[in-house]
A = this chain, B = another copy of it.
């Protein structure tokens, strides 16, 4: 029997504890993760093979890591027609969104002139990217789409997918994941996962390429490993992936039966998932709780639901504005505005990974097909960054040129400030340019 926590009109000083998540600290997994990374850095492929045998139960020679072109062709045969069609629609829509939503990316450069120094910004794709796609017992083709497409749109030269192998699949990786990666524009798929794969592409092995950036969600060990290779200065990473979260803001227009499904759709991800309902209508909130407690018992994945609903929270406020303020404080991964006039609330959104407008637009639409990314900040990181985007796959490189007529004025500024900072050779380097200007004059 599940019983949900319901809080009515909590005062501000209680919000901080209400928005707190179960721990997002992955440093506790370091003792497991560090020795694996060290081994891969030392031994390369041999260590990757050994840990793949140990954790995934599969003996593979390193030359089998990379999925061959024949196998990718075979994967298309193994995928049902309606799944292929669905993946094609998903890839097309996600690509269109990422092409149009981040203007400027993909262009060669910006340029502008500022007071005697010509300055601008080059936009250059990250060259080599690895996209981590979780796997093992489940199959996540949508994660291949959401990570490979923005890298491909940004113009990255080499986009590879790494994903754990499974004995249950004839190709050792779900055919759907292979097709999704291929449709999205991946250059290669390697059937290695876990810490050993992260370490492998961070440093490069005999068969795994060394990449410049690793993106995509994984379990706590994978997240810990990504942050570890980043802290060692080996490679860039996108962001940590914590348990999935939704916060639904609802008013009296919301249908409790649909709210029940929205919450269960979130809660079924895993036992750590977090679902929150912030409601301006006490009756809708209470009715949703009643139906949810009943529905859970017969729902698919009831066991996971029962576990994760322990992390759930229903909070009732007098008005929608307070609900939204609470949502901004929570900074949820997914923010669903299940209200009569969602556009009005949208303007007031300050912190969320992604926003879903209106009763129809339940979060699963965004997980697969509306177009925006589903790789999103969790655990409150949405206070600082939004969804994965093409901007995560480009470098913004400023350039600058001091024009002769500005040399003297700017050099004097540099000389003054370099002296304050105790950097005399900085001052000398500009002074010699200034005097040259004077010689010429």
Interface residues of A (CB under 8 A from B): 23-27, 82-83, 85-87, 89-90, 93, 96-97, 100-104, 108, 110, 112, 114-115, 117-122, 124, 126-127, 138-142, 174, 176, 212-213, 224, 227-228, 230-233, 235-236, 240, 242, 257-258, 261-262, 264-265, 267-269, 299-301, 305, 342, 346-347, 349-373, 379-387, 389, 391, 395-402, 404, 407, 409-414, 416-418, 420-430, 432-433, 436-437
Contacts and interface: CB of A to CB of B under 8 A. Distances in A.
Nearest to A140: B421
Contacts of A342: 401
A386 B395 contact: yes
Interface centre among A117, A396, A412, A436 (most CB of B within 10 A): A396
Contacts of A385: 126, 236, 395-396
Number of copies: 2
Specify the main secondary structure of chain A where it touches its partner. Answer: mixed
A142 B352 CA distance: 33
B90 A268 contact: no
B387 A264 contact: no
Contact of A397 (B387, B422, B429): B387
B23 A397 contact: no
A99 B236 CA distance: 27
B373 A26 contact: no
Given A351-B124, A414-B365, A424-B268, A402 B360 contact: yes
B391 A119 contact: no
Nearest to A174: B420
